[in-house]
Structure formats: C-alpha cells, structure tokens
Structure 1
Amino acid sequence: MDGIHEILDAIAGSANDDVLATIIRVEGSAYRKEGSSTLFRGDGTQIGLLSAGCLETDLSFRVQEVINQRKTNIVVYDLRDEDDLSWGQGAGCNGVLSVLLEPIDACLREHLCKLKFHLDNGNRVTVIKKLAKDNSVTDYLFITDHQQLFGKWHGRVPLQIKRLVNDIHQKIPKSGISYLPELSADIYIHCFEPKPRLIVFGAGRDAIPLVNMAAQAGFSVLVSDWRSALCKEEYFSEANQLIVGFPNEVIPMLTLSSLDSVIILTHHFQKDRELLHLLKGEKLRYLGVLGSKARTQRLLDGREIPPEIKSPVGLPIRAEGPEEIAVSIVAELIQRQRTKLPEMVMERSWSSND
C-alpha cells in the first residue's frame, strides 16, 4: 500500500510544520513506486518510507529548506551508480527517482482532510497536480469517482483532465507525470484507493497471524466469531473491529462492497456452509475458504466450486502452519489488490434448490 491512510490520520490531528514527500516519477527500478508518500513532521518524526533508508537522511535536510521557504520542490535521486559516492551508497538500484516535497499549509491540510473523509467513506479519489518549470505545484485538483471536485485550481478544469480521470478509472491506475498539451504543462496524477477491508470469519488461533499480517500490510481488518471467548481484543489487538455474533446476525450488519475481501476459517462445517449461503449475491473483491477443495465442495452440497470462491485459500506455496498460511493468504490479497478485475457477482447458480 502507499501509506497514505496512516499519513492522513496524522495530518488530521496535527498543526505542525509538516512536509509531504511523494515519489512522482520512477525511471528504472526502485524500492517504492510512483504515488508512495512519506510525511516528515515538524517535530522530526517520520511516517512512511520512500526507500530502504538511503534517501531519508538527505530528504530530512531538504525538508527544512521547504519549511523555511514555504515552497514546493522536486528532488531527483539517481540510484543507478554502484560507487559509495552516489545516492543509495552503492546500492545500484538501477533507478532514478523524482520526489515532490510539499509544505502542508492550512489550505492543503483542509483538502487532505477532505481526501481522508472520502477515502474513509469508501470513495476513490484522483489527484492531479500541475507542475511548473521551477519545480513548484501551481494548481492541484482532487476528483472523486462521483465527480466531486475540490482543491486549488485557477480557471476552468480542462475537459481533457476529466477524460483522463475517466480513462484511469476504467483500467489499472498508473501514477506518474504526463505532459498535457491543453495546459502546456506537466501534470502529476495519482489515484487514491480506499483502505481495503478484510473480513475474517473465525477467531481461532490460526486467525491471529493472518489478522496481524494483513493489518501491517495496510488492510482494515474486521474479525467476527460467535464465540466471545475467542473474539477478544487481547488476541486481535491489530484488528480495527471485532464483532461477536452468529453469521446470520453479523452479515446483515455489514455493508459489503466490491472492495472487500472475506476469509472463512471458522473450522465449523455448518457455520462455514451458512456463511457461504449468506454471502451469495454479494460483490466481493475476494472470497477465500480455508480447507481443501473437497471440503468446500461438501459445503456447496457437492457442486463445483465457482471461480469467485478461492479454495484452498492463498497462493500455492505449500504453506504449513498458521504463519505460513497467513503469508500465502496476505500475498494473494495483495496480488488481487494490484489486479483490476471485472466486478464479479456470486450468482445464485451456486444452488439449484434456491
């Protein structure tokens, strides 16, 4: 994930001299890609990473210049050389990175708080920044999927920008810099996705490493189980929400969307069957069931497993034990996040007896 959600949480509760550092161009290979951000706080602390540690020290000095001058700047790092005198201390990463440094004034802070509001409510938001030849940002515009606009933009919004945003939303979003003839300027464009939600049904011991790993990977994790002795904060401190209840009580409480992923691992045959029945017709990004294909087929009364259901769950890395299985599941969730899939509906053909 690009780390923007943790950054926005910090910005919303801060009034310090913060600077947002964002990778806006990558030529070759690099540790992080376009759109990755780090927040440099006025108190010297930092949220997020742009590199494996080879750029942050230099950036911290440049941040002070940006704060003092109250002006955006773009810094270019060439990491291709392998000698110790180059950036990367001889890492030879074969990449050139352009990093945009923006002082967060009251105006930008207000707009970043609006960005947080939309993302927290499940709305995707695209940002466009107009870049001047002196490396400053002269205009920026946030556009939601519902065509709501906010930001600091002088004059009318060109039709070409609206078309560009629409094209981006029809395919895998690619961040970076493009030249826009209608503006006679370079623009940086990036699409912010809402924090992906993972819903884990089952609070057994094997769910603990899964929840912890998914949370650390940037997912908002909800854990649900009907057994109150298992579904407790002391076991799932990394979870964003815990819900104790039976499947038929919990699922109607959830507003499921195509951005959600669901893992079923209750280790209770009848409850797993009930969950699959209740999830019929829901649009989900991912649905995985722990256990063998034979068991999942039994859950479906002997019918073939639809392509919308992943069973066994996780990437096929021959995982053994809770930790390795958690690795395989989270890896597949990340893979699915990176892949633009047509919206899939769990059709009622699951059962011929409905």
Structure 2
Amino acid sequence: MLNLFSALETFQVDQDYVLATVIQTQGSTYRKAGTLMLLDSALNYFGLISGGCLEGDIQEHTKAVLKEKSDKLIHYDMRGEEDLIWGMGLGCDGAIDLLLKYLPANEGHFQFFDILKSIQQGTQHVLSLSLSPPFEFSFNRIHPDNTNQTSVKLTDSTIEIPLKPPLRILVCGASPDVPPVAGLAKQLGWQTTIIDHRPDFIQPGNFPMADKVTLVKRNQWDNFDLTNFDAAIIMTHQFERDEEYLKRLLTTDLNYIGLLGPVARRDKLLANIGTTFANHEGRVFGPVGLDIGADSPETIALAIISEIQAVKAQKSVGFCYQDENR
C-alpha cells in the first residue's frame, strides 16, 4: 500500500491506469491476497506483486487491458511442473489469482486517486471489489473510532481490503542522530515530524527526509497537537527536556513511546514523573530499539524503526529494554 503513494507524485489526470490486485493465493507466494500494484499507461508500476518475477508479464497483460479498455483475470501457477509451462522456473511452489482493473481517466479513475490522497492524509478506507464481471469497485471510509478491520476479507463474491494511512512518527529532539531515523522512515513511506525547542537545531536543511520540522518552544509543548501521531521517539539528549516530553506523552493514547538512553536513565525519568517502568512496559520502550547490536547512528536508527514496525504489527521480538545488562 505504501508504495502506491509515490504514484501521486507523477499522477496525470488525463492518463488511464490499471490496478493489479491479488485476489487469492495458494501455497508459498511472495505476497498475499489484498496486495495492490498500480500501473500507468507507460507501464511504470508502483508496488510489487512478486519479487520482480511476475512484474514483466503483468506489464504485458496491462498493455492489453489499456488497449481493450477492459478488466482481466490472470492465474499464475508456480508449483512443480506447472511453473515450467510459464517458462519462469521460479520455484515458489505457489499459485496467484490476479485481477487487472482498468481505471479510465474519463471515469475519474473510479475515485481511486482521490481516495489514495485521502488515505495519505490520514483517513482509512476499505476497498470492496467484486470477483465477477463487471468487477464492481467501491470504497468505504472507516471512522477513526472504528478501525477494527485490519485484515483482508475474502468471500466467494467479493474481496475487502483495508487501506491504511502511513504511520506518522513524532521525533522529540533534533539531535545529529535523528536524520538516519527520518531517512529510514521515509523509505518505508512513513511520515515523520521532528520538533525541538532549540532554534539552532531545528533547521529543515538538517533533515531533508523529514516531512515536517517544527520549532516547539517549552511553553508551547503542552498545547502541541499529538492526536495524529502513531508513535513517538524521545531523543533530545537533554534529561530535563526528555522528562517534559515523556510526562505529557504518557497522558496520550500512543502505544509506542521510544526513549533513548540506558535503563538507569529511563527509571530516573519515570521516577521524577511519579511512576515506574512496570506501569508502562509494552508501551514505553527504553532503551529504545530492537536488540540487534546497534552501535552507530545508522544501526540505532534501524533498530528503532524495526521496533516500531514490530510493535505496530504486534510481533514478539527481542527488545533492548529486555536486556538486563543495559
């Protein structure tokens, strides 16, 4: 999904597009049902259905869809001898059913790009797609208080695909080790806001990969809007300021608050606020990051971004805070 947002940068209102959707899979496949890939009239594609094995063939089928102005179902079977029939020799041991949906410019692309822009700005929708001709195509906006549908729903007649906005990350502190964090988040399609109270630190030119860089003075922090963020990382390297950031972040609904520094520093911060780590374990992550042996700004950034991904995906992994020697 995140790869599709880059299509907005080159979107041409008078150009036809094709949306490739994985309807269902069997066996071992690179992507699963609900995966989307968008192709323009020049056959440039955004997103991947496979690891590059099928994309060339999908482009060829897309040519026919654009020429005939009609949808097309494709079946790929990479299991055993069937794979050799395709001449691909992929050895993936799986099968994929794929729908190429024609998005004509004269029909407003069935609102696909309007919805895509809305999702990029923070709304969540569900794409409903009929599995029989004429492959009817519709969107339903999900209210922020009712975002329970997190997985694809497949029936004999339809597939429903949740379309989620990119994660929005708040970095509290414009220190020199922040750019790698913003850079990795950008590659994932996440949106990063960096704030700091020090005017000399908060220069947009220092953070070219951040979406927003904002000066937030100490007296402005209590009124700074935190409702649109999915995760926060505290990395000012200033104890007093970290305490101010942490104190307010603990009052929010954020389920990920990353805290740079060792266990002793974390516990002292929480004690000053009047609480303990035991009250916030699984929500406050300090020392921040996955335990991957990070020892540089770049590897620490990798550990942090990986940890956010793991928490949001509800995966059990090795967190740094679980290491008693830190």
Q: TM-score range by the shorter chain?
A: 0.7 to 0.9
Question: What code does the residue aligned with 2:79 have?
Answer: R
Aligned residue in 2 for 1:155 = none
Structure 2: how far apart are the matches of 1:15 and 1:250? 45
Structure 2: how far apart are the matches of 1:88 and 1:3? 28
Aligned pairs (5 A) from 1:241-256? 241-250=212-221, 252-256=223-227
Aligned pairs (5 A) from 1:199-348? 199-250=170-221, 252-257=223-228, 260-301=230-271, 303-305=275-277, 306-307=280-281, 308-339=283-314
Helix, strand or coil at the partner of 2:127:
strand
* C-alpha deviation, 1:84, in angstroms: 7.8
Matched, 1:175 2:152: yes
Question: What code does the residue aligned with 1:46 have?
Answer: Y
TM-score (norm 2): 0.85
Q: 1:142 aligns with which of 125, 139, 144?
A: 139
Per-residue CA shift, 1:142-200, capped at 9, x if unaligned?
111239xxxxxxxxxxxxxxxxxx8xx535x2225312xxxxxx211100111210111
Matched, 1:195 2:172: no
Runs of 5+ unmatched residues, structure 2: 316-326
* C-alpha deviation, 1:94, in angstroms: 2.4
* C-alpha deviation, 1:214, in angstroms: 1.1
Residues 84 and 218 of structure 1: CA distance in aligned 2, closer, same or farther (over 3 Å): same
Residues 292 and 53 of structure 1: CA distance in aligned 2, closer, same or farther (over 3 Å): same
Question: What code does the residue aligned with 2:276 have?
Answer: E
Aligned residue in 2 for 1:5 = 5
Per-residue CA shift, 1:286-328, capped at 9, x if unaligned?
1111111211111122642122211111122232211111111
Aligned pairs (5 A) from 1:150-161? none
Residues 206 and 9 of structure 1: CA distance in aligned 2, closer, same or farther (over 3 Å): same
Question: What code does the residue aligned with 2:151 have?
Answer: K
Per-residue CA shift, 1:86-129, capped at 9, x if unaligned?
55833322221222211212435252234135424432111111
Structure 2: how far apart are the matches of 1:226 and 1:82? 63
Question: What code does the residue aligned with 1:174 have?
Answer: S
Structure 1: how far apart are the matches of 2:309 and 2:253? 18
* C-alpha deviation, 1:40, in angstroms: 1.4
Aligned pairs (5 A) from 1:52-67? 52-67=51-66
8 Å CA contact retained: 2:290, 2:306 = yes
* C-alpha deviation, 1:253, in angstroms: 3.3
* C-alpha deviation, 1:212, in angstroms: 0.4
* C-alpha deviation, 1:265, in angstroms: 0.6
Per-residue CA shift, 1:51-75, capped at 9, x if unaligned?
2211111111110100111111121
Residues 44 and 250 of structure 1: CA distance in aligned 2, closer, same or farther (over 3 Å): farther
Residues 244 and 17 of structure 1: CA distance in aligned 2, closer, same or farther (over 3 Å): same
* C-alpha deviation, 1:130, in angstroms: 1.1
Structure 1: how far apart are the matches of 2:224 and 2:110? 32
Residues 288 and 19 of structure 1: CA distance in aligned 2, closer, same or farther (over 3 Å): same
Structure 2: how far apart are the matches of 1:111 and 1:128? 13
Alignment: residue pair count: 308
Aligned residue in 1 for 2:131 = 131
* C-alpha deviation, 1:338, in angstroms: 2.0
8 Å CA contact retained: 2:28, 2:93 = yes
8 Å CA contact retained: 1:215, 1:239 = yes
Per-residue CA shift, 1:241-298, capped at 9, x if unaligned?
11122354256232424x5110011111111001012223211131111111211111
Structure 1: how far apart are the matches of 2:298 and 2:117? 34
Structure 1: how far apart are the matches of 2:44 and 2:214? 34
Question: What code does the residue aligned with 1:271 have?
Answer: R
Runs of 5+ unmatched residues, structure 1: 148-165, 180-185, 341-354
Residues 275 and 315 of structure 1: CA distance in aligned 2, closer, same or farther (over 3 Å): same
